[in-house]
Amino acid sequence: MQRLTLSALILLPLVAACGGESGSSSVGSKPGSAASVAGVRWSVDSLTLDGKSEQAPDSAYVKITKGGEVDGNFGCNGFGTTATVEDDSIRFGNARSTDMACDDVPMSFEESLRRTLGDGPLKAETSDGKLTLTSDSGDKVVLSEEAPAQLYGTTWKVTSLVKDGTARSLPSDSADKAWFTFDKKEGRLSGILGCNRVSADATVRDGQLTLGTPGTTRRMCDGSLMDTERTLLELFKSEVSYEIDHRTITLTSENGEGISAVASK
């Protein structure tokens, strides 16, 4: 498992934005043009390189503000950069990125997505809630307009463990196995801790979550699966604060430990 200090950033060599070039501008909102992508969070669906398509991880996204600021995620690592519009194309600038190796996301995908976004300007086409970015070489990124996730009724897939502002990716044998969901009518949390199923009363009030005594199955699993379960079960021992950032939720206990999860597509 790799550790990530959330404030740690590194520079990645995307092509620099050239705001002073003829025909370029800040990202606006003119319908039917590349500028119309601003203000929307776009979930990355797939990446096509040399005619071969690859599905993107759930956490990969790109969001461009009307002022041309960009934040996103390559699938594991978050990044920030700038964007300019040149007619029907978008050019991304130099990016700063976190530096974490995630067991559940191939670093080759992250590198490919980073290079494709840097291979600008990219032709931008929007249709029926879809955005397609195409490079001069024919490589393509397909994205979908992404609505914010709701606390209730969403399947939240656990992606990392958090302690004192530091995130730690799940072990490879736990990746994609731990998830939970909230049922508003029943007032309960249910899910899988990585190995065993869990269910507990859940009371939500003013950004705080109180979990009752958990009921779990009694299956024994090897290695880090049980370690992950023990860590997740610690959340049931105190009042937990929660924060939703579009499609990511963070649960933090009183001792500063917690988890981060992303809404499944």
| Mean of pLDDT over the chain | 83
The whole-angstrom distance between residue 88's C-alpha and the CA centroid of its chain comes to 27
pLDDT of residue 264: 87
What's this model's pTM, rounded to 2 decimal places?
0.63
Rounded average pLDDT over 83-106: 82
pLDDT of residue 112: 94
Rounded average pLDDT over 81-93: 90
Strands 78-86 and 24-25: antiparallel
- Cα dist. 33→8, 88, 110 in Å? 35, 6, 27
pLDDT at residue 213 above 80? yes
- Which pLDDT band holds residue 123 (cuts at 50, 70, 90)? very high
Q: Which among 231, 193, 230, 246 has a CA at the least distance from the CA of 78?
A: 246
pLDDT of residue 147: 86
CA-to-CA distance for 13 and 18, rounded, in angstroms?
15
Condensed to tens digits (0 to 9), the pLDDT of residues 5-62 reads: 222 333 344 433 333 333 333 344 444 445 578 889 999 999 999 999 999 988 899 9
Give backbone dihedrals phi and psi of 231, rounded to 5 degrees, phi first: -65, -45
Condensed to tens digits (0 to 9), the pLDDT of residues 125-140 reads: 999 999 999 999 999 9
Condensed to tens digits (0 to 9), the pLDDT of residues 143-185 reads: 999 888 999 999 999 988 888 777 787 777 777 789 999 999 9
Tell me which residue has tokens 């950032």.
245
Q: Which among 179, 195, 256, 188 has a CA at the least distance from the CA of 229?
A: 195
